[in-house]
Amino acid sequence: MDEMTSVTVDDLASAHDQFRSERVNIVAKNAVSSNGITAAARVPEGVAANALTFDVEVKQGDRCDQQRSGRCWMFASLNTMRYRVIHRYDLKTFELSQTYPLFWDKLEKSNWFFENILDTLDEPLDGRLVSYLLMAPVGDGGQWDMFRSLVKKYGVVPKEAMPETACSRNTREMDSCLTRYLRGAAKRLRQSHEAGVCREDLEEMKKEMMGDVYHLLATCLGEPPASFEVRLRDKNDKLALSGTYTPQEFFASVVDMNVDDYVSLISAPTVDKPFGHTYTVSRLGNVIEDGGVRYLNLPIERLKECAVAQLRDNLPVWFGCDVGQSYLREEGIMDTAALDVDALFGFEVEGCMDRAERLDYGESLMTHAMVLEGVNLDAEGHPTLWKVENSWGADHGRNGFDTLSDPWFNEYVYQVVVDKKYLSDEERATYETEEPTVLAPWDPMGSLARAR
């Protein structure tokens, strides 16, 4: 036996003796094995610092619930938009349909997938790129820029105009069937290319395939309305809005939000992404004619400053983060001080890498989108605690709300979407004019679009 490369009996005996020699290890073992890591690492003093009272706060309607789907980015986007309708018409609450953009996103992602397959016909099937494209061609995830593309093309509708279905509430079966169909279609396109079929005929094959995709989606979600009737009553039960609209008309006249004014800021302090420059992710998007995503990478403090400025102007802020980290999910608390895993184990686990290293080594990426709706500020005007509207229903957290400590923001928030008026002149010019650096399809900054 090579004692330098193998785990030996002496190694095990030494580890056993060392573990048993400290009383704290036995206490930790009993606590964790009985209650789990999170419960045993919970710090009550940290939890107590997460009260739901805020210096700056926007008031939203009733909580929404994405249920068993990966539509967080859609819910977060729609929550920023419904806020405008609620306040413009003095409504108690209001929801925009989340099934409506789901239909169009699946359709557009399918077309995006087919175009990527046609673009990579000569790439090896077992190469990293094609294997990546086939891995999850039409998942539920997405990015703000992708939602902006959907809204510009298809508009929005009230929830009553296209309500939830069994397949929108739980997308797994629909996604599984659509994914299988798309992979089979990719096989047919590649085999036809190998057999000498010309590009024009392959494009015709794709058109027929897109008809099948529409059929599948309409079966699962219903067909999107071309027009619909609206009746909205305000808090005093007075009729505030009535009429017939197309989805595009409803977005333009009722939501009335210039989505092109809103830009994605990221904060990724890795060597491959110097601050002050723009980036895009290769082959990430949905609506072909509107292009992909675009980010401006800035220090985390700038993301906070822009978010606070928008909240002060009484508008919520879409953001993307790594939600599973240092998170007391049932209590709705994201706070590095509310959990002390390192003290529990007696060595660095959570503290073994910094923000950049977690991104580089695959330990952290964007997994969830939500909405910032409040913030507490210290005497110098710096944020200390953020109010978050989640999309997991009113039973989650505290009436559907979470809190996010500023140290947690430093570690695990990666993206905010704000009006470009909050950028400096230099930042705005960079975002609008600089040719973005193209990141690999599997870069962590694109991971939110790959979530289920």
Catalytic annotation, residues:
72, 368, 390
Distance of alpha carbon 389 from alpha carbon 318, whole angstroms: 10
Cβ-contact 441, 284 below 8 angstroms: yes
At position 79, the amino acid (one-letter code) is N
* Residue 46: HSE in the Cβ half-sphere, 13 Å Cα cutoff: 21
Q: Are strands 368-377 and 317-321 parallel, antiparallel or unpaired?
A: antiparallel
- 19-24 contact pairs (CB < 8 A, 24+): 22/346, 24/346
CA-based nearest residue to 266, from 307, 231, 233: 307
Distance of alpha carbon 74 from alpha carbon 71, whole angstroms: 5
Cα 149 off chain centre by: 16
Q: Rounded to the nearest 5°, which phi and psi values hold at 226?
A: -80, -30
Q: Are strands 295-297 and 262-266 parallel, antiparallel or unpaired?
A: parallel
Q: Rounded to the nearest 5°, which phi and psi values hold at 317?
A: -130, 120
CB atoms within 10 A of CB 20: 11
Cα 103 off chain centre by: 18
